[in-house]
A and B are shown apart, each in its own frame.
Chain A
Amino acid sequence: MAIVRAWAPIAIALALLAAVNLLLPSLNEDYRVHVLLDVGINVMLAVSLNLVNGVTGQFSIGHAGFMALGGYTAAFLSIRLAAYQLHGIPDAVSQGLFLVLALVVGGMVASLAGLIVGLPSLRLRGDYLAIVTLGFGEIIRVLIENTEAVGGARGLSNIPPWAGFFAVYVGVFVTILCSRRLLASTHGRALLAIREDEVAAEAMGVNTVGYKVRAFVVSAFFAGIAGGLYAHYQTNLAPKSFTFIRSIEIVVMVVLGGMGSISGSVLAAVVLTLAPELLRALDQYRMASYGLMLVLLMLARPSGIFGTREIWELWPLRKKSKPDADRELARPAGSP
């Protein structure tokens, strides 16, 4: 029974995604599909960054760096793999396997970098950690810009177009699923405890140092996967796509969605990716109105769209009746 419940959502989601994939026009023909893929990538980035910034309460603003590392590693690998083909299996399957291999290696390289960046987080907090992660993101970008093997400032092109709707949204699904299930486990609660009160978490037996580093590693892994997927539908990568601004965009999504709220991160990523597209009609006022929208949203919901909660927790029907509250009021508590 437990096994069915653990695996059923995965099977259903994969089937659904495969079905939608058949109905969608192929990638190159439609601009809207391209936007849909961008939405997917941003959802992955926001949900993975939420693990560090929202759940664990560490302030990282170098997420584009992890994305770049994963993207470039995967692309570098698959450009070389594209010359080969596995015997005895269809083309598409062979490509799929190569893609998975490239993505996983990219994710692992990114998480290794996450480990290296996570280590200073043992000693730094708040603004100071933010500066370290900012520096990291910029270092990665400058390194790539000056590495001829990956195209330098010109960028890396001719990446095999292996990722489409199905691949990107499987990535989105896996990221959300892992994040959600992690949060609902003892490990997720340990991360939340660090955000709430690090001293108390440590005193209650949570290895805060270990957990902070692990949060960085897992978060960077998924950012790396997102970068890899991005590379395989863009078919080219340029260092200028991974600037500090890109990192900030992702931070904004997490903050706007509500710290620690997965559904909030997803919604904010969708809204903030679509908004510039939908605001195109406003012409030169486009980015100004985008900014204005952000300001208004933050004024209306200062702790993010969903605060620290999930969308279904805000649903009024799910709220339990509280008979004990009345008893509490009747009791003369607090009176001397």
Chain B
Amino acid sequence: MSAPAIVPELRTEVLVANKVSMVFGGLRALNEFSIDIRTGDLQGLIGPNGAGKTTAFNALTGVYLPSEGEVRVRGERVNGKRPHQICSLGLARTFQNIRLFKELTALDNVRIACHHTAKAAWLQAVLRTPGFLREEAAITERAEHYLSVMGLSAKRDEQAKNLPYGEQRRLEIARALATGPSVLLLDEPAAGMNTREKADLMPLIRRLRDEFKLGILVIEHDMKLVMGVCETITVLDHGITIARGTPEQVRADPRVVEAYLGAPAAEKHA
């Protein structure tokens, strides 16, 4: 199933943050956060609770307007753009606490994510013009494709709220993929998963990257998952980037150990 490796020349910049800071009142929740994600990258963002991971995420996806610095998606500056505009530039995301359209079917969840491909006006929808019908058929086909990629074809007509937890997570990924992204942000994809589901998640993330030629940023709490799947890891603590490198480098970094486990007793007394 492994797709051909991504040619180096195609490793275009998809998501770049340049010294992004978020200031809330007197609190500097994120300080000069920088990251450079290119096609084919599989990067991780970790840090203890309250380190600023979610703040970084929100600043990247347009939920917050960065106080300082610049965010670029595929070379275009997105500061001040609304999330749906950033989405159409090629940035897709999943949510930490699953945010599916619960009452709607799995198919409709994914079809909504194909929304940006639709050109037909409201009047065309009411008159059911041939152009509109063609477009709807194309959207349905596209949505079915992404459902099958995530192994959810059989669940096409199930309401999202009735799916088991693991399938809801997969449906969220299918939905994110359907927006046609160049970069995918996964917000704690392993949250609430058991060991087995976590083990399945690692090859899946790699497969997504290879099959869809994505740059992927995983925000995780779970060190094992991030260490197992990411090639570059950025570590945040109190809004400050304290380390960046391969899993081995990060694991060996004393500042990372300190952030996660606290300073060694001896040093504290010193």
Chain A residues in contact with chain B, CB under 8 A?
2-3, 5-6, 177-178, 181-182, 184-190, 192-193, 196-197, 199-209, 214, 218, 308, 320, 324, 328, 333-336
Contact of A197 with B122 in the complex, beta carbons under 8 Å: no
Partner of B164, one of A181, A308, A328, A335: A328
Answer whether residue B263 sits at the interface, using C-beta atoms and an 8 A cutoff.
no
Inter-chain CA distance A207–B155, complex, in Å, is 27
A-B contact count (CB 8 A): 121
Contact of A204 with B130 in the complex, beta carbons under 8 Å: no
Chain B residues with CB under 8 Å of A187's CB are 118, 122, 125
Contact of B102 with A205 in the complex, beta carbons under 8 Å: no
Contact of B113 with A204 in the complex, beta carbons under 8 Å: yes
Partner of A208, one of B84, B103, B139: B84
What secondary structure prevails in chain A residues at the interface with B? helix
Answer whether residue B87 sits at the interface, using C-beta atoms and an 8 A cutoff.
yes
Contact of B164 with A333 in the complex, beta carbons under 8 Å: yes
Answer whether residue B132 sits at the interface, using C-beta atoms and an 8 A cutoff.
yes
Given A193-B104, A335-B196; 12 other pairs, CB 8 A cutoff: A182-B125, A186-B120, A186-B136, A189-B112, A199-B63, A200-B100, A201-B112, A202-B83, A203-B84, A203-B92, A205-B113, A324-B155
Chain B residues in contact with chain A, CB under 8 A?
61, 63, 82-84, 87-88, 92-93, 95, 99-104, 108, 111-116, 118, 120, 122, 125-130, 132-133, 135-136, 139, 154-155, 157, 164-166, 175-176, 179, 194-196
Q: Do A218 and B122 contact each other (CB < 8 Å), given the known contacts A202-B84, A324-B154, A333-B166?
A: yes
CB distance from A119 to the nearest CB of B (A): 16
Contact of A200 with B126 in the complex, beta carbons under 8 Å: no
Chain B residues with CB under 8 Å of A205's CB are 84, 87-88, 113, 115-116, 179
Inter-chain CA distance A218–B125, complex, in Å, is 13
Q: Do A196 and B154 contact each other (CB < 8 Å), given the known contacts A186-B111, A186-B125?
A: no
Inter-chain CA distance A185–B108, complex, in Å, is 10
Q: What would 22 A/B residue contacts be, using CB atoms closer than 8 Å?
A: A2-B133, A6-B128, A178-B126, A182-B122, A185-B122, A186-B136, A190-B115, A196-B101, A199-B95, A202-B83, A202-B87, A203-B93, A204-B112, A204-B115, A205-B88, A205-B115, A206-B84, A208-B84, A218-B122, A324-B154, A324-B155, A335-B194
What secondary structure prevails in chain B residues at the interface with A? helix
* Beta-carbon nearest neighbor of B121 in chain A: A187
Inter-chain CA distance A201–B84, complex, in Å, is 8
Inter-chain CA distance A203–B179, complex, in Å, is 10
Chain B residues with CB under 8 Å of A178's CB are 126
Inter-chain CA distance A207–B112, complex, in Å, is 12
Q: Do A196 and B102 contact each other (CB < 8 Å), given the known contacts A182-B125, A189-B115?
A: yes
Contact of B84 with A200 in the complex, beta carbons under 8 Å: no
Contact of B101 with A192 in the complex, beta carbons under 8 Å: yes
* Beta-carbon nearest neighbor of B103 in chain A: A308
Chain A residues with CB under 8 Å of B130's CB are 2-3
Q: Do A193 and B112 contact each other (CB < 8 Å), given the known contacts A182-B126, A187-B122?
A: yes
Chain A residues with CB under 8 Å of B84's CB are 202-208
Partner of A204, one of B102, B179, B195: B179
